[in-house]
Structure 1
Amino acid sequence: MNRLTHSYAVARIGRHLADGLDVDIDLVETAGLAHDIGHPPFGHNGERALDELAQPCGGFEANAQTLRILTRLETDTVDVDGVSYGLNLTRATLDATCKYPWTATAGQRKYGAYAEDATTLRWIRAHHPDRQVCIEAQIMDWADDIANAVHDLADGIRAGSIPTAALADPTDHTMLAVEHFTTAPLPTAEDAAHDLAAIPQIRALAARPYDGTPQARATLAQYTQAMTTRMITAAVAATREHHPQHALTRYAADLVVPQATRAEAAILKALHLSHVLRDPARRARRQRQRELLAGLFTCLHHHAPDTLEPSARHSWHAAPDDRGRLRVVVDQVAALTDHQAVALYGRTLRTATRSTTTAATSGTPPAG
């Protein structure tokens, strides 16, 4: 599953949750489709690399970048002075995409807006409780958790990275789940692991190695459907029970997800972490990805604005200072796909090498 198909899955799961709760389906679906567009090449690994590189202009955070794309970088509408309104989405739509509706603060890793986008965030959040997340964004966030837990595990099994036998006794991963993915106490996580092992679709999946045959694919699909439905149903039932008379909209209610259900999702994530994300070969690949992004970023910045796309060049010249110009480079790198980053790195490196070689032979200093 890539970022696009993951976003489709989040939107689809979000629709089912919203439908069960009689919440605005369009708002939740849009939030699901938009929630990851701020991710740079190489996902969370690229996010960490770009955050390091972007420290002089305030850092990088994918959720803040999503807001920036929706309200500034993807231009559908401009004001009388030619300033971008982004996609000109409604306040409610933008609010539904905000999992972390605050700007960067010391010691806080997650946030939803850069300092230069604080005015936009204040407009989105006007008259709303400080830091409270609207129910549509809470639904999108839980849909994201379900997709990460259920679908990522299925991808790992499909790729041969996660042995199906690991599902037969998921209690081995409860400590990892508690350390990284849930606030539930260890006994709750252990109970959740036992409950998972007893689910018929998980037992069927764990009973034989995945070999890619039609039967194996069907068994995996049945697991995915069963677990997705289980996590949707639990959240809908708990929320309905907690808010029996309330209209479930905006700030009038909160999504309620049982602790045991969150623990089940955490255990599935822990299985993926153990078998996929901590694989030594994957660690080496992540290091190469960070080095590539650092090289691309440095090259684009050093030779800017010539190395930037036309729209980015305009932003570069319009930027008030070095901090603003650095943010333009961050925006361009963050907008790339994995393949685009690799290809652009190769082209930019060759162009920079030719420029340096020409300057050396002609006695003219290279541009930059």
Structure 2
Amino acid sequence: MKPLPLYGDGDYYRLSGINVGKHCDKEREPGRLSFRKDYSRLIHTPAFRRLQGKTQLFPGYESDFFRNRLTHSLEVAQISTGIGERINSVEPEFESSHIDLDLLEFAGLAHDLGHPPFGHNGERALDEMMLAFGGFEGNAQTLRILTCTERKLIKVGENTYSDLGLDLTVRSLASILKYDTEIPEQRKKRAPLQKGYYSSSADIVKEIKSKVAPRKQHQGDFRTIECSIMEIADDIAYSTYDLEDSLHAGFSTPVSILSALFNDGVIRKTVFDRTNKELKKAKHEEMQSFDELFEAASLVFDGLTEAGFSDKTSSALEATKIYKLDQQIAQDSLTRTKFTAERVGKLIGSTEVKYNEHCPALSQARLTREAMLEVEILKHLNYELNIRSPRLAVVEYRGKDIVCELFKAIDNSGGSLLPDDWKQLYRDSRNKKRIICDFIAGMTDRYATEFHNSLFGSGKSLFKPI
């Protein structure tokens, strides 16, 4: 394995011990900063372009309004840089040694690169197929794409050669390394999905750690400041814009969301427990009662709180006002835009940093407790009410069948169903199942469906390429 490039720009990165040399003999191009070059390499990759064909919450063919993985990633990148700008302005430790905004933008754009077609069920399907061969997980696949499956011509001195991976800086790779756990090569049947990185990426992860935090001791999981900011931005986007999509689709209204929390005991306990788990992870005080859960949820939709009145006339008037506001947020695009813009701005302004004096690179950003309550409650409510709704479940479970059937068909064919450029990789690999997994994971929803139809459907043209 060649040494990973280590260069970076700015005092903060020199202080972090990552600006010590470059990859091989590569010279820095005049005017091009290192992280900006990584950003450029990312956006020109096929894997990045294919995000436009992968579902975020609702299938894109249902409406041009709905977000896909690409538009979601663009929003996460923008929120990440917004958080970075704020931290650079208000946190004393970063006023003179700024967090690099190009690196934050890279992390936001790259964070969903490894997600397969058909969302979480596509991920579970590939993991089931790979239980005995190293597993599958979206974040682990992102690292693999950036360091292995994407190919680029690399110039070193006078020589040019083909390389696997994008030849990115160590710090760019560290910015998407969310889980500090190696996924076992073999897991039992029906084992739950495990977040982490593949064992085949272990040497790369080891090198990333040694160069980002050389000779430094860190407690807990390895995670850089840029990665923690990207995670916050992802949570903000998920809890805000997926909510907007569900309102536009008619799956939810503010009142229906609050009603589920107040009146459905199973959903209430699920949201309560999962929110407390995230609060504990962020070292915030956990909620002690459902009352705090109700209060935080009601703050999300200010004005939609339950009010008690002594006479029926006042209650009826209040109910009418609540219904009007509920329908306005659910149906009026301008009202929704105002709601989401104000919410995102408020949450960006609610970030704080725990500075790591021993290793600044491993400082951690987090939301304040009040902001985190709102984000986590909406995240888990959205999951329970929308992602697990029967209408979406039908689409996702069909997608799971497609992924499993594609995997088995390609495997049974001995790789003959793979396109020509993938066949060579398949022949040269010792883990042929991983090559099949890489191929399917990179598919868009539509391509996976068309490929499946070409194998199992009828009337398929022989002249349409796979």
Question: 1:361 — aligned with what?
Answer: none
Question: 2:326 — aligned with what?
Answer: 208
Cα shift at 1:205? 9.1
Question: 2:436 — aligned with what?
Answer: 329
Question: 2:178 — aligned with what?
Answer: 99
Assess, with a 3 A threshold, how the Cα gap between structure 1 residues 64 and 300 changes in structure 2: closer, same or farther.
same
Deviations 1:244-295 (A, max 9, x none): x9799522x2113223322111111233123212212322332221111111
SS of match in other structure, 1:307: coil
Question: 1:158 — aligned with what?
Answer: 248
Assess, with a 3 A threshold, how the Cα gap between structure 1 residues 29 and 256 changes in structure 2: closer, same or farther.
same
Alignment partners' CA distance in 2, 1:200 and 1:266: 15
Alignment partners' CA distance in 1, 2:391 and 2:272: 25
1:194 aligns with 2:288: no
Tell me whether 186-195 or 91-100 shows the greater mean CA deviation.
Answer: 186-195
1:84 aligns with 2:199: no
Alignment partners' CA distance in 1, 2:210 and 2:164: 17
Contact 2:140 2:195 in 1 (8 A): yes
1:219 aligns with 2:335: yes
Question: 2:199 — aligned with what?
Answer: 115
Question: 2:233 — aligned with what?
Answer: 143
Contact 1:77 1:88 in 2 (8 A): no
Cα shift at 1:188? 6.9
SS of match in other structure, 1:308: coil
Alignment partners' CA distance in 1, 2:147 and 2:326: 49
Question: 2:209 — aligned with what?
Answer: 125
Assess, with a 3 A threshold, how the Cα gap between structure 1 residues 354 and 230 changes in structure 2: closer, same or farther.
closer
Assess, with a 3 A threshold, how the Cα gap between structure 1 residues 290 and 280 changes in structure 2: closer, same or farther.
same
Alignment partners' CA distance in 1, 2:329 and 2:299: 23
Question: 2:105 — aligned with what?
Answer: 29
TM-score by length of 1: 0.83
Amino acid at match of 1:64: A
Q: Which runs of 5+ in 2 are unaligned?
A: 1-66, 89-98, 280-285, 305-320
Q: Which runs of 5+ in 1 are unaligned?
A: 356-368
Amino acid at match of 1:141: E
Q: Which has the higher strand share?
A: 2
Question: 1:300 — aligned with what?
Answer: 410
Alignment partners' CA distance in 1, 2:448 and 2:293: 41
Contact 2:272 2:293 in 1 (8 A): no
Paired residue total: 343
Question: 2:71 — aligned with what?
Answer: 5
Output the aligned Cα RMSD: 3.1
SS of match in other structure, 1:256: strand
SS of match in other structure, 1:88: coil
Deviations 1:29-66 (A, max 9, x none): 10110000100001111101110011121110111100
Cα shift at 1:177? 1.8
SS of match in other structure, 1:84: strand
Contact 1:175 1:186 in 2 (8 A): no
Contact 1:13 1:143 in 2 (8 A): yes
SS of match in other structure, 2:245: helix
Assess, with a 3 A threshold, how the Cα gap between structure 1 residues 221 and 246 changes in structure 2: closer, same or farther.
farther
Deviations 1:305-331 (A, max 9, x none): 2211222111111113xxx11110000
Amino acid at match of 2:175: A
Contact 1:77 1:84 in 2 (8 A): yes
Structure 1 residue aligned with 2:455, among 342, 348, 359?
A: 348
Question: 1:228 — aligned with what?
Answer: 344
Question: 1:313 — aligned with what?
Answer: 423
Alignment partners' CA distance in 2, 1:76 and 1:20: 35
Cα shift at 1:123? 1.6
TM-score by length of 2: 0.67
Alignment partners' CA distance in 1, 2:435 and 2:339: 44
Deviations 1:74-117 (A, max 9, x none): 11146999673411110000000111133115788444321112
Assess, with a 3 A threshold, how the Cα gap between structure 1 residues 175 and 229 changes in structure 2: closer, same or farther.
farther
Question: 1:250 — aligned with what?
Answer: 361
Amino acid at match of 1:276: N
Q: Which has the higher helix share?
A: 1
Contact 1:178 1:266 in 2 (8 A): no
Matches within 5 A, 1:271-286: 271-286=381-396
Alignment partners' CA distance in 2, 1:86 and 1:69: 7
Alignment partners' CA distance in 1, 2:124 and 2:461: 31
Amino acid at match of 2:389: D
Amino acid at match of 1:177: V
Contact 2:140 2:197 in 1 (8 A): yes
Assess, with a 3 A threshold, how the Cα gap between structure 1 residues 247 and 145 changes in structure 2: closer, same or farther.
farther
Contact 1:170 1:197 in 2 (8 A): no
Question: 1:175 — aligned with what?
Answer: 269
Identity of aligned residues (%): 27
Contact 1:153 1:271 in 2 (8 A): no
Question: 1:64 — aligned with what?
Answer: 140
Tell me whether 279-288 or 90-99 shows the greater mean CA deviation.
Answer: 279-288
Deviations 1:146-175 (A, max 9, x none): 111111111111100002323566852653
Contact 2:114 2:142 in 1 (8 A): yes
Question: 1:363 — aligned with what?
Answer: none
Cα shift at 1:332? 0.3
